[in-house]
Amino acid sequence: MKDITAELRDILAGSSLQNGQALVFVPGATGALSTIEYEPGLVKDFPALMEKMIPEKEYYCHNETWHDGNGHSHLRATLVGPSLTIPFTGGSLILGTWQQVVFLEFDNKPHHRRLVVQLIGE
């Protein structure tokens, strides 16, 4: 889990837009985006929740196809989703006081990820 809120704010600040929407998308089948209160407890709780819901050591048919052992990674990413749309006004993202935007890597091997950010507005 990586907090990307500051990077998104920097991207918005580098634009001339004041009001609109920021679309954030992760290309790839095992990464996801969400919002959370990015604090140590929840940073531990969220992976624990994913493990309860979609255990890594469970049998997944996907693993028979590619033998890469990441069936759980695909299911977790699908459950959370690959994109977010965040409104902004006055040149600032509209987020709750304790709400941060996070990138979630669910794969069982490291990746060099890129995120796509599109700003739409005026």
Are residues 32 and 82 in contact, defined by beta-carbon separation less than 8 angstroms? yes
Residue 18 backbone phi and psi in degrees, to 5:
-115, -35
CA atoms within 13 A on the CB side of 111: 17
Assigned token pair, 76: 């977790």
Note the pTM of the prediction, 2 decimals: 0.95
User: For the segment 23-65, what is each residue's pLDDT rounded down to a tens digit?
Assistant: 999 999 999 999 999 999 999 999 999 999 999 999 999 999 9
The beta strand positions in the chain, using DSSP E, are 2-3, 20-25, 31-36, 83-89, 92-93, 100-105, 116-121
CATH of the domain at 25: 2.60.120.460
How many domains is the chain partitioned into structurally? 1
User: For the segment 91-115, what is each residue's pLDDT rounded down to a tens digit?
Assistant: 999 999 999 999 999 999 999 999 9
Distances (CA, A) of 62 to 1, 46, 52, 82: 24, 23, 19, 19
What domain range includes position 85?
Answer: 2-121
Assigned token pair, 12: 């918005």
